[in-house]
Structure 1
Amino acid sequence: MLIKSDAIRAKGRHRLFARLLIPYLVFLIFAMLIGWMIYQKTIVLIEREATESHMNLLEQSKDVLDRRLEELASITQQLAADTRIIQFQPVVNPFIGTNTYRIMDMNKSLYDYKLSNNFVFNYYVLFKNSEMVFTPGASYTYEHFFKTVANYNEIDAKKWSSLIANQFHTRHMLPAQDVTLQGIPYSMLTYLQSIGYPGSPQGVIAVMIDQREIQKLFQGIHISEGGWAYILDNEGKIISSLSAGTGTDLPFDIKQLTGSKGVIEQELDAKPMMVTYTKSSYNGWTYLVGQPTSVVLAKVRYIQKIIFTFACVFLVAGIFIAYVLAYRNSRPLRKIVNMILEKTDALSQQRDALGFIGETVSGLFQNNHRLQAEISQQVPLLRAAYFQRLLNGQFVSARDADVLLKHVGLDLQGMSYMVTIVHLRGFDNGYSSDLLEELDMKRVLAKETLRKSMDYDGFVYDIADDQFAVLFIYKEEQVGFYKDYVEQKLKETKENIAEQLKLVPVYGMGGVCDSLTGISRSYEQAREALNAQIWNNKEGGLWYDELPTDMNHYYFPQDVETRLIHLAKAGDQTEVNYVLDELYRENFEHRHLSISVMKLFLFEMWGCLVKLLPQMELDLQNVYNQMTALHGSNDSYDSMCKNFESIKATFQWVCDNANENKKSQNVELIETIISLLQNSYMDSELCLDKVADQMRISKVYLSQFFKEQTGINFSDYLENLRMEQAKVLLHSTGQTVNEISEHVGYSSHSTFSRAFKRLHGVSPTVYKKLILEKHG
């Protein structure tokens, strides 16, 4: 018998292990399927990202070249507007008379732009009438210049003369061609800008651009393994080839290009190629790059191999882990079964351990249901606490009140509400222990009577030994006749309480409100109505809106006055007008104040301004004059209204002054910040956080404020300030670059060099060398 029992247990263990292992394997297979779908989507996305990245790189290179060409246009326009060049245009015999002095003056006056712009290899000014060529520091005749100085392999001096004399060139670029400059061969692009007027060219400014400089701009575009790149002008002619070994014929039909940019995949010379192109909106040039598809998507193919490798490893590891987890998780389940058997002496009718555990858990659920039933008995206490908070106005927002409704099992949203307070009269002759016990019993019975009368239309809440608060709830369509409804309910309750308990109920009824947070206001109104009813020793009920209007008291509490002062000092015109309108409605419309009381109210309002103006450092004389006018004005409602409008206008004047002070403070603050930066830029630890700490403002506010006031980011302003000072030191001192970097606030020489080159196009060392060469 024992052997049979052990065999059953062993079989159960294997069954339990298999039941735990199979879900792991199913989940693993499911995860692999999901991963395969994600992989397919990811590969498509990565391919798109790769092509977009390639396009973005081409766009960036194009934008840089456009800016460089714009710089050339600016340089040639400056040269064309030079008075010396304009005066030399009509000269025919340059070596006669004073013209020789003009040549010497021209040689000295031409600025060498290649010192500050590494994109300019050199430039020449060619005059048509004198057939002279000028360059910074030298001058030549056409024949001498095109034979010995700049020998174009494809254009001789006659063709140059015709090119200059017969055409007016505006931002015209000659394609790259071989040029021998003083015996050294180069591949040059030539930028042409005519001088004179259209139809009457007097010469041309020729700027030479080394094709290697253009290739540097596009060095981020890797062209290898059969790739090519070209720059085409707006007529489709090749301006420059950006890769070595490319021929003069374009290997691609540009008629296939549609739109301003795009990517085209097709076979060229039996090789899959990806052609990326973009067109410049500046000059209409087309930038064209062709690469083998395998090169562009090399990263994608690499990622595919990595993913496949990891997927195989994951599959093997997943199966192993599933086996281990199934084995480990089956052990505690067996321990649980053994513990249940040992602790409860239960006999399972289930075929396996999981079924037996299920039996036990179902028993736990039954116990839990019993516990929930006991908790539900505590719901009335939770509701009582909730209604107490509603009546006392302890909810800041309606959202908080709505959220807590779910916890007390109520749904009161979208309803209208009204509070009534019921006072039980009949225990006015002192108290004794017997009388208190009787009062408790009658109070409970009265409360139960009220609750039955309300049915599902309201809730009853204890607020004192002899008082109850009743919260009536209406649907939107019932609000029109809620008074009749409430009076009918209270009348039935009064008759039942008087007949059964010999007590006389007295009621105070508040107004209707549309939100949970307004219940506290209705409660206070009901309390005022009840106090008036008790004070007058009357029976029955009294509505709040039936209370007599107070003609001898104006409404202007201390907290409203304090809030009004704070809002005016802050310059919040909208909120100030809102508070003033509330005061006007309450004192001029809702309360029927006498003229004398209304004057007191207006003097109190002027007194508020008398308190406020010294704090704002504003003149009080205007207020005193208007107060005097109020004293002498006729006692009419219209004069009181006009005086209140004067008060309102004065508050507006205060708000305007507060806002003007804010603007002046902003000017003073930005001047202080800029002064601080100019005096402390050499501090390497100077940054946004440090300045914010010194100015005692948050760094987020400082960053936004600085950008709004100056139009430039804080960090950019500080970097530009340091770079300008560095240029001054490079010009005027013999300090090393390392010393200058420390002097202008850079703790690292390499950081300074990178920032300088990014802003000026050359390193500080090269910049200083160029300055020395120019002045040496």
Structure 2
Amino acid sequence: MYGYIQQSLSSLLDNNAELREEIDKQVPLVWDTFFQRLLKGDFLSMNEINSLLAHQRIGLYGQGYAIGIVHFSRAGQSNTEAELNALDVNRVWVTEAIRRGLGDDRYAHHIAEDKIALLFVDELGDEASFRHMIDRSVAAIEAETGGREGLQLYFAIGGFRSTLLEVSGSYEEARQCLSSIGYEGKNETIWFADLPHTNARFFFPQELENRLINYAKAGEPEEVEAVLRQLYKENFSDRHLPLALQQLFYYEIVSCLAKLQEQLALDQAIDIPQLLQHPSAVDNPKLSYRSASEMFLATARDLDRRKKSRNHRLLDDILAHLQRHYDDANLTLDAVADNMNVSKGYMSQFFKEQTGINFSEYLENMRMDEAKSKLASTSLTIREIAEQVGYHSSSTFCRAFKRGTGLSATVFRELARNETAYPSSAGHPGAVGEA
């Protein structure tokens, strides 16, 4: 037996080591996917981001963040086979320069054949120091590529963001910066903060539109309001947009509402014609924007109420089903999920969120309550009670009972009967002697 256990443990350790090795091989691919989603703004919450970072065993914590894009090219670059091969070599050269210059290439992500996105992390919470740190990083990368003849590096740095959830906005700003680069054959760095924002284009990137629609569809009014506040700040406070661009931005918001209405198959919940003909749409787009924002929020709040109502009904149906069928020894999470027409994964997560405990724990508690009642008030055998509360065997029932109460079923029954025989003994120590 000892030899068998030793052999089993050795095999288990070997298999675990192989599994860990395979997982480690996949880490770069998973991290690359994570970075891509981060830039696109695909994440809806910091919990989702933190969960994936924990899975990657990466502690990515800072007081602020910014995205930079490095665009590398050669003078006179064309699409000939020789130049394309040279581009491949440059990509390897620049990637290695980033690794040497920054000391860590995990925060670099290839977004095109000649462009790499860089994630900068502010650990001190000081924007001035953060900018100096980025300048030093850019200089370090340039120094590492200094020996490559004819290679130019152009850096575009987006604005600072306070959370990883918002860095997609910094990425969009970095992309805007690229259009301001002169490409005059010398290294150049452009900061979004340094661009003249007067008469600039309005700010409503695709990723933010997608997030706004997704938050509304998910019934998350707080998140919808946060995005709407960000859009208002960007377009009506931070940027001095001419009236024509303010109007265009407002019509983009109305278009977004129309997309939301179409995706939700709403009939007249959002009055698009009324918004397009809003009295202030021409001379005061800010006021019209507030009206459109209220429609976004009203839709999100309504869907939130419907979601909570559905959740209450679903939970009531689940609990009622358990009350009716707890005595079925074949009752499982899968069976209940099938009965409720939901997936097993959703059922497990939903039940834990609504009740605070796992499905199996809740079901066992329910069965134990019934068993206690039968032990105290009937003369049924342990086996009979086990069958009536949903256990295949009395031994399984007894283990569960001992685990849940700390007592064996037999001892519990004796104590319950003694309590019934001498109900006042606990409150009146002399009662037993008087009897």
- TM-score normalized by structure 2? 0.50
2-structure distance, mates of 1:370, 1:420: 38
2-structure distance, mates of 1:523, 1:557: 10
Change (3 A) 1:500 1:592: same
1-structure distance, mates of 2:205, 2:15: 58
2-structure distance, mates of 1:588, 1:576: 18
Q: Is the 8 A contact 1:498 1:504 kept in 2?
A: no
Residues 456-475 of structure 1 mapped to structure 2, 5 A cutoff: 456=104, 459-475=107-123
2-structure distance, mates of 1:502, 1:650: 52
Among the aligned pairs, what percent are the same residue? 29
Residues 493-572 of structure 1 mapped to structure 2, 5 A cutoff: 493-500=141-148, 502-533=150-181, 539-551=187-199
**Which has the larger strand fraction?**
1
Within the alignment, does 1:489 sit opposite 2:137 as a pair? yes
Cα displacement string for residues 4-44 of structure 1 (whole angstroms, at most 9, x for unaligned residues): xxxxxxxxxxxxxxxxxxxxxxxxxxxxxxxxxxxxxxxxx
Cα displacement string for residues 319-350 of structure 1 (whole angstroms, at most 9, x for unaligned residues): xxxxxxxxxxxxxx6xxxxxxxxxxxxxxxxx
2-structure distance, mates of 1:393, 1:530: 20
Read off the aligned partner of 1:461 and give its amino acid letter. H
2-structure distance, mates of 1:644, 1:483: 33
1-structure distance, mates of 2:221, 2:26: 50
2-structure distance, mates of 1:409, 1:573: 32
Match for residue 78 of structure 2 among 430, 442, 449:
430
Shift of 1:450: 0.3
Cα displacement string for residues 345-391 of structure 1 (whole angstroms, at most 9, x for unaligned residues): xxxxxxxxx13651574366346535634542332222222212222
Residues 72-91 of structure 1 mapped to structure 2, 5 A cutoff: none
Change (3 A) 1:360 1:472: same
Change (3 A) 1:400 1:536: farther
Match of 2:155, SS state, is: strand
1:593 corresponds in structure 2 to 241
Q: Is the 8 A contact 1:457 1:472 kept in 2?
A: no
1-structure distance, mates of 2:85, 2:176: 29
1:449 corresponds in structure 2 to 97
Read off the aligned partner of 2:10 and give its amino acid letter. S
Q: Is the 8 A contact 1:424 1:503 kept in 2?
A: yes
Residues 355-754 of structure 1 mapped to structure 2, 5 A cutoff: 355=3, 357-358=5-6, 361-362=9-10, 365-366=13-14, 368-369=16-17, 372-373=20-21, 375-426=23-74, 428-456=76-104, 459-500=107-148, 502-533=150-181, 539-551=187-199, 585-594=233-242, 627=279
Shift of 1:548: 2.4
Q: Is the 8 A contact 1:533 1:539 kept in 2?
A: no
Q: Is the 8 A contact 1:426 1:504 kept in 2?
A: yes
Q: Is the 8 A contact 2:200 2:239 kept in 1?
A: no
Shift of 1:599: 7.3
Read off the aligned partner of 2:89 and give its amino acid letter. M
Shift of 1:590: 2.2
Read off the aligned partner of 2:146 and give its amino acid letter. A
Read off the aligned partner of 2:24 and give its amino acid letter. S
Read off the aligned partner of 1:503 and give its amino acid letter. L
Match of 1:512, SS state, is: coil
Shift of 1:447: 0.5
Match of 2:171, SS state, is: helix
Shift of 1:420: 1.1
Q: Is the 8 A contact 2:62 2:122 kept in 1?
A: no
Gap runs ≥5 in structure 2: 262-266, 302-435
Read off the aligned partner of 1:473 and give its amino acid letter. V
Q: Is the 8 A contact 2:159 2:192 kept in 1?
A: yes
Match of 2:52, SS state, is: helix
2-structure distance, mates of 1:508, 1:586: 19
Shift of 1:512: 2.0
Read off the aligned partner of 1:386 and give its amino acid letter. F
Larger Rg: 1
Shift of 1:506: 0.6
Change (3 A) 1:488 1:554: closer
Match of 1:511, SS state, is: coil
Q: Is the 8 A contact 2:67 2:158 kept in 1?
A: yes
Read off the aligned partner of 1:448 and give its amino acid letter. E
2-structure distance, mates of 1:433, 1:484: 40
Q: Is the 8 A contact 2:198 2:241 kept in 1?
A: yes
Read off the aligned partner of 1:522 and give its amino acid letter. S
Cα displacement string for residues 195-242 of structure 1 (whole angstroms, at most 9, x for unaligned residues): xxxxxxxxxxxxxxxxxxxxxxxxxxxxxxxxxxxxxxxxxxxxxxxx
Change (3 A) 1:441 1:543: same
1-structure distance, mates of 2:21, 2:170: 35
2-structure distance, mates of 1:465, 1:650: 40
Q: Is the 8 A contact 2:67 2:119 kept in 1?
A: yes
Q: Once structures 1 and 2 are overlaid, which stretch shifts more, 508-517 or 595-604?
A: 595-604
Change (3 A) 1:649 1:504: closer
Q: What is the aligned length?
A: 283
Shift of 1:540: 1.3
Change (3 A) 1:401 1:543: same
Cα displacement string for residues 612-645 of structure 1 (whole angstroms, at most 9, x for unaligned residues): 9x96899x99x98x95x998xxxxxxxx66x855
Change (3 A) 1:427 1:381: farther
Shift of 1:518: 1.6
2-structure distance, mates of 1:504, 1:548: 25
Match of 2:146, SS state, is: helix
Cα displacement string for residues 720-762 of structure 1 (whole angstroms, at most 9, x for unaligned residues): xxxxxxxxxxxxxxxxxxxxxxxxxxxxxxxxxxxxxxxxxxx
2:417 corresponds in structure 1 to none
Change (3 A) 1:574 1:431: closer
Read off the aligned partner of 1:508 and give its amino acid letter. A
Change (3 A) 1:537 1:589: farther
Match of 1:472, SS state, is: strand
Change (3 A) 1:428 1:536: closer
Shift of 1:509: 0.7
Match of 1:525, SS state, is: helix
Change (3 A) 1:601 1:487: closer
- TM-score normalized by structure 1? 0.30
Read off the aligned partner of 2:190 and give its amino acid letter. L
Read off the aligned partner of 1:526 and give its amino acid letter. A
Q: Which has the higher contact order (CA 8 A, sep 6+)?
A: 2
Match of 2:59, SS state, is: coil
